[in-house]
Amino acid sequence: MGLSKIWVFVEPSGIKVSSGSLELLSAAKRFAQEVTAFTTALVDGEFSETVGRYGASRLIVVSDLDSRLSGTTAAAVMAARAVGEDVPDAVFFAASYEGRDAAGRLSAKLDRPVLTNVVNLVDQGDSLQSEHAIFGGNEMVTARFTSSAPAIFVIRPKSFVAEENPVAVVVESVSAGDIGAAGGAKVIQSHAEERSGPKLDEAAVVVAGGRGLGQADKYQLIEELASLLNGAPGASRAIVDAGWVPYAYQVGQTGKTVKPTVYLAIGISGATQHMVGMKGAKNIIAINKDQEAPIFSIADLGIVGDVQKVLPALIDAIRARKS
């Protein structure tokens, strides 16, 4: 293990630690002796215990977020602490809205470069080499910081597996204080998206629909199948752009990365920009009327057929089996 200190920006999902943050904590623990987590979340005993269980020995909690933007405020606190002996070897951010915001601001404050869109990190002894998927995931490039620490990485979700690695965690509460003009931006309202099943990027089963559904109201069949399988509904960008479903449903290069046990691609052609977000699924089932559709090249099970016939029949069969 080459590095001595890695910092991780930890984000909440509701009142829990987000799955993406658990992935980053696990990766950090793999590469460094000491992991420090920073968060602006409301922290209770379970939150801090989870952070320790995934390898961080210190949790620094910003106590005065006060409706300011999370990433902005966290970056100010991190920059103030990244001095002298306390400068970490690397800082990990998730490729989330707040993570990207915090990484960019920390990079500017410390005058250090940032490497984004990281999909893997390799231990090089005294540094980390990063891997980045480019051209829709068709090519990989490797990169390494040659400048002084910290190395700032923005890491795509599902790049690392969240693994428990328990250590005792010390919680420290800090005040961000006055963060200047950046603190002027405030969250005045937030809206929690309604959802009945699991989250798209955490679901064991994802049922995704594409333009092959034909029209917007057919998407309810996707939701029905997802609900029967206790999974999450997803979508290709084509139907997000068409306004059939919200952006939060989009899987792919400019949407979510998912790695479920089962991914059903229904009426989705399999453009590289879609596949880069789901090809890590353990089992891929594709339904498409065109047997030449690229999605079949990565499918474990392919059904060549019309979704209008296959999908209702599949739903009926699962319902019959459940009853």
Ligand X SMILES: Cc1cc2nc3c(=O)[nH]c(=O)nc-3n(C[C@H](O)[C@H](O)[C@H](O)COP(=O)(O)OP(=O)(O)OC[C@H]3O[C@@H](n4cnc5c(N)ncnc54)[C@H](O)[C@@H]3O)c2cc1C
Binding site for ligand X (CB under 6 A): 210-212, 214, 236-239, 250-255, 267-269, 271, 273-274, 277, 288-290, 293, 306-308
The residue among 229 and 266 lying less far from ligand X, judged by its C-beta, is 266
Q: Are 40 and 159 in contact (CB under 8 A)?
A: no
CB of 246 to ligand X, least distance (A): 14
- Please, what is the minimum distance in Å from the beta carbon of residue 253 to ligand X? 4
Nearer to ligand X, 199 or 211 (CB): 211
- 249 SS3 class: helix
Show Cβ contacts of residue 252 under 8 Å, excluding neighbours closer than 6 positions.
236, 237, 271, 273, 274, 275, 276, 277, 278
Residue 102 vs 239, nearer CB to ligand X:
239
Least distance between ligand X and beta carbon 258 (Å): 11
| Residue nearest ligand X by beta-carbon distance | 252
Residue 160 C-beta: closest distance to ligand X, Å: 21
Tell me whether residue 165 or residue 308 sits nearer to ligand X (CB atom). Answer: 308
The answer to whether 200 and 240 have CB atoms below 8 angstroms apart is no
| DSSP string for 105-154 | HHHHHHT--EEEEEEEEEE-SSSEEEEEEETTTTEEEEEE--SSSPEEEE
For the bound state, the minimum distance from the C-beta of residue 313 to ligand X, rounded and expressed in Å, comes to: 13
- Of 1 and 317, the one with the shorter C-beta distance to ligand X is 317
In the complex, least distance from residue 301 CB atom to ligand X, rounded to whole angstroms:
15
Nearer to ligand X among residue 150 and residue 209 (C-beta): 209
Nearest distance, CB of residue 217 and ligand X, angstroms: 14
**Angle, alpha carbons 15-106-37 (nearest 5°):** 40
For ligand X, give the closer residue by CB, 176 or 221: 221
What are the structure tokens assigned to 78, written together? Answer: 């991190």
How does strand 170-174 pair with strand 151-155? unpaired
Token pair 């001595």 in the structure block, residue: 4
Q: How far apart are CA 151 and CA 131, in angstroms?
A: 14
Q: How many CB atoms within 10 Å of residue 62?
A: 22
- Contacts (Cβ under 8 Å, ≥6 apart) of 147: 112, 113
Cβ atoms of 210 and 235 within 8 Å: the answer is yes
Residues whose CB is less than 8 angstroms from the CB of residue 104 and which lie 6 or more positions away in sequence, other chains included? 114
Residue 187 or 242: the one with the smaller Cβ distance to ligand X is: 242
CA distance 52 to 31: 16
Shortest distance (Å) from residue 35 CB to ligand X = 31
Q: How far is the CB of 76 from ligand X (least distance, A)?
A: 32
Query: Residue 145 or 219: which CB sits closer to ligand X?
Result: 219
- The token pair at 129 is 């080499």
